[in-house]
Structure 1
Amino acid sequence: MRILHTSDWHLGRSFHRVDMLGHQAAYLDHLLSVVAEEQVDLVVVAGDVYDRALPPVDAVRLASETFARLASSPARVVVSSGNHDSAHRLGFADDLIDAAGVHIRTRASRVGEPVLLEDRHGPVAVHALPYLDPDLVREPWGLTDRGHAAALGEAMRRVRADLSGRPSGTRSVVLAHAFVSGTTPVQVSDSERDISVGGVSRVPTSLFEGIDYTALGHLHGRHTLTETIRYSGSPLAYSFSETDHVKGSWLVDLGPGGLTSATFIPAPVPRPLARISGNLADLLLAPEHEPQEACWLQVTLTDAVRPLRAMDQLRERFPHVLQLGFAPHSGGPQLPVAQPAAGRSDHAIALDFVAEVRGSAATDAEAALLLDACDSCQPDRDLDREVG
């Protein structure tokens, strides 16, 4: 059986205010092409179909169109909900949708009920575990411990109970949306929502021992925790912490004895990401930064004094700058920090604030503008001038 493992589509998400829906649609077109070209038998989506519980209408439409196209392909589809999804909304009419060959699993009460498939080597049981909020399943499942390890541990107990009653030779696939870690540390991304409970979010790979393939979602980078336990990562970058990621999906083959191969299929890149830093004047002129002119860009300026209109100047050369930060090198002019407010005018405090934040004193024109602004907030428009 040939499986395509994907996750964390986050349909409806933007990237620093750039609408990503068109790029997400291009990825899903690519996904459908891979299904056809590689003769995929099963597509598994390990959670976070949407970016938020109440997704935009266009994102819902894109998901609906994609699942309809997949239903028209020879592949079966199994989807689980993630921590960004609304289990109720994503799982709406799941029993009806099952008939189309798209199996959406969002209810904790159905954990342990597999989607049963068959190939020339025999049966394959696919257990799709929705994101399991430990606080929500603790009471109905009678858990004594609080945390993700306890919730997933009980889920896998139910999975194994089901598998133990299956015919000999039944192969197993599990989908899970969680922070799973093994002996090798995994890299997290800024775009991943914290799911820790009581300060603990990680669960061990040992929970999935004996499963022929575990398709994980939640982390946005691809990771191979063991030969049979993998994260596909998100298909697109959703933060600059993912600049060096290679995005895509895992193409997995199951033979009669379990996993036989896993190949990573890179996804199309709508626009590369890059991070650069330095003095503004140097960044605007340095020829080595020419490749970054076409990138979505994060810039950190190191000027001792914060330049005026820095973003406007940068965009003259780098039109796709999305994030600007300041990390001045030491050695610049030492300006007095803002003084306590008692007995000082609003205007003087505002001038101190500008000097402290920007690294340089306000110009005469700026000082006059600040004075007018302070005066406009006073019941007596002459009060601030008298105190100053």
Structure 2
Amino acid sequence: MRILHTSDWHLGRSFHGVDLLPAQAEYLDHLVETVRDDQVDLVLVSGDVYDRALPPVDAVDLFSSTLARLAALRTRVVVTSGNHDSAIRLGVHAELADAAGIHLRTRWQDVGTPVVVEDRHGPVAVHGLPYLEPDAVRQAWQLPARSHEAALRAAMDRVRADLDARDARSVVMAHAFVAGSVDQGERMRSDSERDISVGGVQLVPTSVFADVSYAALGHLHGAANLSEEVRYSGSPLAYSFSEAGRTKGGWLVELGADGLERADFVPAPVHRPVATLRGGIEDLLVDPTHAGVEDAWLAVTLTDARRPEHAMDRLRARFPHTLTLAFEPEGGRVPRPLVVPHVSGRSDLDVALGFVAEVRELEPTSEEALLLQLACESCLADEDPDADRRGDHRLDLVGRADRGPSRSDREAAG
């Protein structure tokens, strides 16, 4: 039996304001083509079909049309709900979908009841475990502890009870944070995954899935093989800049008469690469080594000592898909004892200007000083409704910023 293991589609997600649905549609075209060209018998989606519990209509339409295309190829599909999905919404009309070979497994009450798929070697029992919130099953299953490990161990007890009663190879789908160790788990994580910890604990040991022919995991967005039989497919797209450079895709799994025979990674198409850049703005704008990321979605960190003016506009002239911009001046400050300045007798503006100079070790520019004055005046106006009638007593900030604190300011501070 040939199985395509996927997960974490997150349909309807945006990436720093960019709608990802066109990229997701491109991936799903690739998925259908892979199923057709490689004669896939079974498609698995191990949770997080959608990015949120109430997905946008166009994301629902994309999911529905993809299922219809797979059904037309007579490929069986098993879908489980993840922690981002609404189990109730995703599982609507599950009984009707079963008749078309589309199996939506979203209810914890159905754990232990498999989808049985036949091939020339006999039956394969596919146990699709939805995301199991420990609080939702703790009482019904009498869990010994409030944890993901306890919930999954209880689920696997039900799975094994079913497998003991039948002669079949086994596939288990689960949506959880699974790893051989805490260190391994931390190395596998990315910024785009939602924390599902309970009481600070979320890790489930790989041993929970011992003795199954194949465990198709979802939740972590990086592809990984925890063992030959226990694997994460990862997400089909990069959903955070921490995933820059990772190859996305899914596992094409072959089950033989005795279980797993092989698993090959099938890369997904790259709609637009994700990359990060760091450096001074003048270097970034001319460095030829960055030509390969000119069309990428970029996160840029500028290391200039002073913030360049119109930095985003200048970067986008060369890198039009720059999405985020951060500033980390190079040559970080040498730690020194905390200095608490005297503020008695000083205006709010003087304190703000002094704070900027202290933190950045550079005096504010005239434009920055003017912006701070406007902010202070706005706050005072909110507190004093008669402020406007007293006229505008704005300081000459251009000269003030260049000269630094006045003598009277220094005397008041000292």
Q: TM-score scaled by structure 1? A: 0.93
Is the partner of 1:10 in helix, strand or coil? coil
Structure-to-structure mapping, 1:143-222, within 5 angstroms: 143-166=143-166, 168=167, 170-182=168-180, 185-186=184-185, 187-222=188-223
1:370 and 1:210 map into 2 onto residues whose CA distance is: 65
Q: Which has the larger radius of gyration?
A: 2
Aligned residue in 2 for 1:2: 2
1:47 lines up with 2:47 in the alignment: yes
- Report how far residue 315 of structure 1 moved: 1.1
For 1:5 and 1:293, the matched residues in 2 are separated by 32
Residue aligned with 1:139, SS: helix
Q: What is the rounded CA distance, in whole Å, between the counterparts of 2:363 and 2:309 in structure 1?
A: 12
Is 1:344 aligned to residue 312 of structure 2? Answer: no
2:59 aligned with 1:59, yes or no?
yes
Quote the offset at 1:218 in angstroms: 0.4
1:23, 1:340 → 2: CA distance? Answer: 56
SS at structure 2 position matched to 1:276 = strand
* Deviation readout 1:104-131 (Å, 9 max, x if unpaired): 0000010000001111110110000000
- Segments of structure 1 that go 5 or more residues without pairing to the other structure are none
Give distance in 1, aligned partners of 2:59 and 2:43: 20
1:245 counterpart = 2:246: yes
SS of the aligned residue for 1:294 comes to coil
* 3-state SS, counterpart of residue 141 of structure 2: coil
| Pair 329,253 (structure 1): closer, same or farther in 2 beyond 3 Å | same
Amino acid at match of 2:132: L
Please name the residue that 2:277 is paired with: 276
342-351 or 354-363, larger mean C-alpha shift: 354-363
* Aligned counterpart for 2:364 among listed residues 359, 362, 365: 362
Shift of 1:39: 0.3
- Is the Cα contact below 8 Å between 1:304 and 1:359 reproduced in 2? no
Q: Once the 2 structures are TM-superposed, how far is the Cα of residue 14 of structure 1 from its aligned partner?
A: 0.8
Asked whether the 8 Å contact 2:74–2:101 carries over to 1, the reply is: no
CA gap of 1:384–1:176, structure 2 versus 1, over 3 A, is: farther
Q: What displacement does 1:385 show?
A: 5.7
Amino acid at match of 2:262: S
CA-atom RMSD, angstroms? Answer: 2.4
Q: Higher helix fraction: Structure 1 or Structure 2? A: 2
Aligned 8 A contact 1:338 1:352 in 2: no
- The question of whether the paired residues in 2 share the 8 Å contact of 1:345 and 1:384 is answered with no
Which residue number corresponds to residue 398 of structure 2? none
Query: What pairs up with 1:21-32 in 2 under 5 angstroms?
Result: 21-32=21-32
**Structure 1 residue 364: Cα displacement:** 2.9
Cα distance in 1, alignment partners of residues 13 and 64 from structure 2: 16
Whether the aligned pair in 2 keeps the contact of 1:337 and 1:352 (CA below 8 Å) is no
Whether the aligned pair in 1 keeps the contact of 2:6 and 2:46 (CA below 8 Å) is: yes
Change (3 A) 1:338 1:243: farther
SS at match of 1:138: helix
Q: CA deviation at 1:339?
A: 5.0
Aligned to 1:312: 313
Cα pair distance change 1:66/1:162, threshold 3 Å: same
Aligned residue pairs total 386
Which position in structure 1 is the counterpart of 2:412? none
Alignment deviations for residues 289-331 of structure 1 (CA, whole Å, 9 cap, x no partner): 1212111111111112222222121111111111212221226
In structure 2, runs of 5+ residues without a counterpart are: 396-407, 410-414
